[in-house]
């Protein structure tokens, strides 16, 4: 697996004017973006996606003097129906090149929903029993990644 997926992090910055930019983390540290950059001075929302596999003991984010930080709004239970992802390890996030390359971690608004990740390494074959269990859920949408058998 790519070291950036296993140990790296992705940092996304959205400005007041919409749009945004991403700065990719590398294993062992962030690549070239300082806390004094113009993007951080105008940032309305910052999202850090931590490593997919290796644990994180601590993380630090430097911000310009006078900047304020607050916890972002999260989607509450029952506020939006979840997106249900079912399939193989690829859907689960295995072998992603970066933390932000996993479908469920996409920071854009269309996926700003709660989600249920049912990606399984070496499986995801949509057996009858799994299909019956999935049919009991009431999601906004299903995302299926089932290999042909």
| pLDDT, tens digit, 9 for 90 and up, residues 76-125 | 667 788 889 999 988 888 888 888 788 777 665 545 678 888 988 888 89
- Which H or E run contains 99? none
- Residue-wise over 56-80: b if at least 16 C-beta within 10 A, else e? eeeeeeeeeeeeeeeeeeeeeeeee
In percent, how much of the chain has pLDDT > 90? Answer: 15
* pTM metric for this prediction: 0.67
Across the strands, what pairs with 88? none
Q: What are phi and psi of 125, to 5 degrees?
A: -100, 5
């Amino acid at each position: 697996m790519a070291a950036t997926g296993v140990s790296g992090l992705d940092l996304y910055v959205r400005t007041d004017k919409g749009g945004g930019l991403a700065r990719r983390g590398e294993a062992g540290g962030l690549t070239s973006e300082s806390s004094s950059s113009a993007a951080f001075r105008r940032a309305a929302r910052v999202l850090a996606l931590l490593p997919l596999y290796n644990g994180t003991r601590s993380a630090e984010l430097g911000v310009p003097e006078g900047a304020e930080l607050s916890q972002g709004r999260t989607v509450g239970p029952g506020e939006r129906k979840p997106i249900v992802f079912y399939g193989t390890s690829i859907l689960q996030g295995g072998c992603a090149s970066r933390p932000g390359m996993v479908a469920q971690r996409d920071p854009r608004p269309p996926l700003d929903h709660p989600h249920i990740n049912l990606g399984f390494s070496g499986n995801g074959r949509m057996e009858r029993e799994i299909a019956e269990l999935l049919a009991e859920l009431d999601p906004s949408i299903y995302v299926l990644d089932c290999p042909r058998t």
